[in-house]
Amino acid sequence: MEFDKWFASQEKIVRVILLIIPLVSWVIEILVRLSATLKKGTVTNIVGLIIFGFVNFIVAPSIIDAIYLAITDHQLLLE
């Protein structure tokens, strides 16, 4: 899976918008974090996958991740 590279290659504003839209953000989080976890099985990636992927039915983690991405140009808990 190369979805994390594809997502990282997008413009910052596009990535932030994708993380703000509720259902789209959940799919994006699952795909990006699963792709990164399969490449590097670090504890940080696994925790990020659990928090932002499987607990993301409440929108708050995606909004936090979108704000963090807008500030740092990097997703929270993703290596």
pTM score, whole prediction:
0.78
Burial of 8 (0-12, 13-18, 19+ CB in 10 A): middle
Residue 57 confidence (pLDDT): 63
Residue 35 near residue 63, CB atoms below 8 Å: no
Measured torsion, CA atoms of residues 73, 75, 76, 79, in degrees rounded to the nearest 10: -110
Ordered by start, the domain boundaries in the chain are 3-72
Residue 10 confidence (pLDDT): 92
- Cα 18 to Cα 23, 67, 70, 79: the distances in Å are 9, 12, 12, 19
**Predicted confidence (pLDDT) at residue 77 exceeds the cutoff of 70:** yes
**Predicted confidence (pLDDT) at residue 11 exceeds the cutoff of 90:** yes
Residue 33 confidence (pLDDT): 84
Q: pLDDT tens digits, residue range 13-70?
A: 999 998 888 888 888 888 888 888 888 888 888 888 888 777 766 667 778 888 898 9
